[in-house]
Amino acid sequence: MSKKAFVVQDKYFLEAKRQGFRARSAFKLLEIQEKFNLIKPGFNILDIGAAPGSFLQVIRKIIWDTGKIVWIDIQKIEKLNFPNIYLIQESIFETEKIVAELEKIWIKQFDLITSDIAPSTTGQSGVDQYRSVELNLAILDVADIFLKKWGNLVLKVFIWEDVDDLVRPIKKRYKTLRRIKPRACRDRSFEEYFVCLNKI
Ligand SMILES: C[S@@+](CC[C@H](N)C(=O)[O-])C[C@H]1O[C@@H](n2cnc3c(N)ncnc32)[C@H](O)[C@@H]1O
């Protein structure tokens, strides 16, 4: 690891600890929020690939008790004890089970969906990138059902040479696609965030 990469990791890691965030990813969402102002009080928000929960902490700080937040992850997550936060421990590929869980919470559609989902990495960039695409295509399907018209979607994407396989379906579904690499992403990482604005 280069000296510079180590410094970047260290800075955000320490800052996350200092501010009580469960992960450095919090700063990625904060930067996206600063640029696009996507999270608003009163919104119902779905956070996918949510463990350990730092995106959720950011969202909660902005909406407080004014909307509902649902998080989905295959991993068990240490609970955040607020009455407007609901946990669904499922894989994003289990659409029917997710629909059933959402019915119990009385939510049909969300104003915003955020995803920081990442496959467990193998170290082989081609394989990891392919898995990231599969996950993101599944999230697009989920958003087709659960995101309101004109709603916004944030995706984490491992960039690869065939990234158009993901860009094309996004452009069919959303008016605008903006790409951003937040400062808190490690220099050597090939991840970006796709901010998909205004679902058609
Ligand atoms: C980078 S972490 C998310 C960090 C989180 N946003 C935060 O701020 O704390 C990626 C997450 O994606 C989850 N994940 C991977 N595959 C998944 C799947 N098929 N369904 C749901 N979650 C998945 C992993 O379990 C992991 O917790």
For the chain, 200 residues long, give each residue's pLDDT as a single digit of tens: 444 444 445 688 899 999 999 999 999 999 999 999 999 999 999 999 999 999 999 999 999 999 999 999 999 888 888 999 999 999 999 999 999 999 898 888 999 999 999 988 787 878 888 888 999 999 999 999 999 999 999 999 998 888 899 999 999 999 999 999 999 887 777 899 999 999 99
Cα–Cα distance list, 22 to 14, 64, 77 (Å): 11, 18, 11
Ligand 1: residue whose CA is nearest its atom 13:
49
Is residue 61 part of the annotated active site? The answer reads no
Catalytic residue among 97, 108, 156, 175: 156
CA of 127 to the centre of ligand 1 (A): 17
Pocket test for ligand 1, best of 19, 72, 117 (most atoms within 8 A of CB): 117
Which residues, including other chains, have CB under 8 Å from residue 187's CB and lie 6 or more apart? 2, 4, 5, 8
- In the chain, what are the domains? 3-199 (3.40.50.150)
Q: Count the neighbouring beta carbons within 10 Å of the beta carbon of residue 199.
A: 17
